[in-house]
Amino acid sequence: MQNLQPAKQPMLASIAALLTLLLMLSSCVVTQNSPAQGCIKSIGLPMSGGCFGKTAILDLSVKAESPCLDITANNCNGGVLEVDNTCSETLTLGGIDILPTDYVSLDVVEAGPGTYALKEISSNFSDYSPPEDQRITITGRMGSQDVTVTFTKTARLCE
How do the domains of the chain map onto residue ranges?
5-43, 57-153
Confidence grade of residue 48 (pLDDT, cut at 50, 70, 90): very low
Question: How far apart (Å, rounded) are the C-alpha atoms in residues 134 and 118?
Answer: 14
Q: Under a CB-based contact definition with an 8 Å cutoff, are residues 152 and 138 in contact?
A: no
CA angle at 152 for the pair 119 and 126, rounded to the nearest 5°: 35
Backbone angles phi, psi at 15, to 5 degrees: -65, -40
Q: Under a CB-based contact definition with an 8 Å cutoff, are residues 35 and 75 in contact?
A: yes
pLDDT at site 28: 47
pLDDT at site 106: 97
Range 4-14 average pLDDT: 66
pLDDT at site 18: 63
Sign of CA dihedral 117, 122, 123, 124: positive
pLDDT at site 39: 85
Q: What is the mean pLDDT of the chain?
A: 84
